[in-house]
Amino acid sequence: MSGFSSPSAPFLHVNDITVIRGGRLVLKNVSFFLDHGEALLLTGPNGAGKSTLLRVLAGLCPIQAGSFTLGGLRGGIPEQAQDIAYLGHLDALKPGLTLHENLALEARIAGSKCDKALETLDLVELADLPTRLLSAGQKRRGAFARILLRQAPLWLLDEPSLGLDTRAIETLGRVMAAHRANGGMIIATTHIPLPCREPVPLFSDSRRHSREPEGIPGPDTPRTSSCPAS
Amino acid sequence: MNLKAFLALIRRELRLALRHSADTLAALLFFILCGSLFPLALGPSPSLLHRMAPGIIWVCALLASLLPLDRLFSAELEDGALDHLLLAGLSPGFVALAKILSHWLTTGLPLLLAAAPLSLMLGGSPHDLPSLILGLALGTPLLSLLGGMAAALVLGARRGGVLLPLLVLPLATPVLIFGAAAADTGLSGRGFGPEIDFLGAFLALALVFCPLAAGSGLKAACS
């Protein structure tokens, strides 16, 4: 594969990734493509390796075989981090700091405005409270604000709807749709249906590259299903 | 290196230290309390205390800088913040260096400032101070670097808290020996000896290798 990105090549190209963690085969020969405006939902039983796949793509987990490229460049190097926004299953909010202060690092690195992200997620009134006073759903939204602040094309979301109420899930769906409409990509793990099948007006003619992982899709391999952009 | 991200990380650490000021002050209070116990145990003889002051101050500084190490990285690992630090666009070594630098700013620097009053309290005279302070100025960053490296290496290990001093203390003995010896030559009025040069050389070496080792420790703990 050439090191240069051509306009027609998909942004994310995952090629035969195999991951062994703690002596256990977690991912075996996972391959897929993802292009601008597309989303990929990872579903499967607990321990199927969904979160591991996200951590691999974020460059946090080493791979034993295979490779992946982001925008034509080899993935998993620190310079790629600016293309990735990662939401782990932990909220990573310091209880003693306010939401504003918790998000200051991402805002400063990406040079983005905290207030706009907080407004999008209905968090403006809570922004100056210490996060230990927030409910689980509010904390989750606070953690999601980090995703917006990074202004990265690829979102990796590990159970983004955890603890959210229906209204917040609707907001989440809207935000995700808007991100894809702007050419962004989303890979999310979930156990409940995420509202990501809404029609996205800007991307009426999107090609689908995502496909089932190759190799033997045994019980330990997470199933991937792609959401058509339109 | 992405300087903006590096400075943002240090800023975040300082803000956290400021918000949890009780934890930040704990090391300083330990240093002062520990130092003030020696006159009670050794007796009030000024000549004896004056003779022992450099050693007392150095041992207290070493132990005090160990105190916050246990939480330096493990707090970040537990709440998932370490993932986001590693995604800040910096290589893991620089992430570790930013944390270590903040550890020095919040622990080493206060110790350095408190060393002079403690030395005077133990019967020191003002012209003992330059060699003591210079030694500590080189030694406390060294202790932060060695401690940060060890803290990152035991990250995620069971009983890491017990393992940590066992790893750091042997590595820190040369620092202790040369630091206390440097302060001792100051006492006898011989100016700065080669001990200061050794401390400087250690620091130069540790500044390169400790963050690298700590960075790979962080990456391993995260995966």
Domain ranges across chain A? 12-227
Residue A195 pLDDT greater than 80, yes or no = no
Span A212-230, average pLDDT? 44
Please report, rounded to a whole number, the percentage of residues in chain A having pLDDT higher than 90: 43
Whether residues A104 and B4 touch (CB distance < 8 A) is answered with no
CB-facing half-sphere around the CA of A229: CA atoms within 13 A: 26
Beta strands at A185-189 and A223-227: parallel, antiparallel or unpaired = unpaired
Of the candidates A175, A210, A209, the one whose C-alpha atom is nearest the C-alpha of residue A195 is A175
Of the listed ranges A36-45, A117-126, A219-228, the one predicted with least confidence: A219-228
Percent with pLDDT over 90 in chain B: 72
Nearest-CA distance B23 → chain A (Å): 12
The arrangement of secondary structure in A12-227, i.e. its CATH architecture, is 3-Layer(aba) Sandwich (3.40)
CA nearest neighbour of A58 among A227, A148, A187: A187
Please list every residue in chain B whose beta carbon sits closer than 8 Å to the beta carbon of residue A108: 4, 8, 11
Report domain extents, chain B. Answer: 3-222
Phi, psi of B97 (to 5 degrees): -65, -40
Give Cα B51 distance to the centre of its chain. Answer: 24
Q: Is the pLDDT of residue A79 over 70?
A: yes
Residue A213: the pLDDT is 40
Residue B171 has pLDDT above 50, yes or no: yes
Evaluate whether B103 touches B72 at the Cβ level (below 8 Å). yes
Contact A155, A121 (CB under 8 A): no
pLDDT band at A73; cut points 50, 70, 90 = confident
Q: Does B127 contact A at CB distance below 8 Å?
A: no
Please judge whether B79 and A94 are an interchain contact, meaning their C-beta atoms are less than 8 angstroms apart: yes
Q: Is B9 on the interface with A (CB under 8 A)?
A: yes
So what's the pLDDT on residue A226? 54
What pLDDT, in 10s, does the model give residues B39-78? 999 988 888 998 899 999 999 999 999 999 988 999 999 9
pTM: predicted TM-score of the whole model, two decimal places = 0.87
What count of CB pairs under 8 Å joins A to B? 75
Nearest Cα of chain B lies from the Cα of A199 at a distance, in angstroms, of 32
pLDDT digits (tens, 9 = 90+) for A20-65: 988 899 999 999 989 998 889 888 888 888 999 999 999 999 999 9
